[in-house]
Amino acid sequence: MEKHILIIDDDRDELEIFREALQGIPAMYNCSYAQSPEEALNLLADASPDYIFIDYNMPRTNGIECLIAIKKLEQLRDTPLIIYSNSISEETRRNAYHLGAANCIVKPPTINILTAMLKDILV
């Protein structure tokens, strides 16, 4: 059965990076993309992904604010929300977990490392 992943990131290249990394995982994943938290909330009115990855550093609304907004949606209460960024402080990590994030990851330097990280999270 195919799993659905939503990527929320202001950089569309991240979608392609995730798709490439997922090719190394022996399961079927479909990725959709939202360029902003506002766009994501519109998509989530009609969709319930299996996993949601939220970039922490976005303009206007950061990943923590996006996490809070998504956690308010009843149909997504049990959906794993993962904060990711080029760098995540310990304070941001603690705050994200306190607010319900399933995981916080730092964007790795290679696709192979991202594949390994995604295997740990998704499989």
Domains and CATH numbers, the chain: 3-122 (3.40.50.2300)
Q: What is the pTM of this model?
A: 0.94
For each of the chain's 123 residues, which pLDDT tens digit applies? Answer: 789 999 999 998 988 999 999 999 988 898 999 999 999 999 999 889 999 999 999 988 999 999 999 999 999 989 999 999 999 999 999 999 999 999 999 999 999 999 999 999 997
CB count within 10 Å of CB 33 equals: 18
The alpha-helical segments, DSSP class H, found in the chain are: 13-22, 37-44, 63-71, 90-98, 111-122
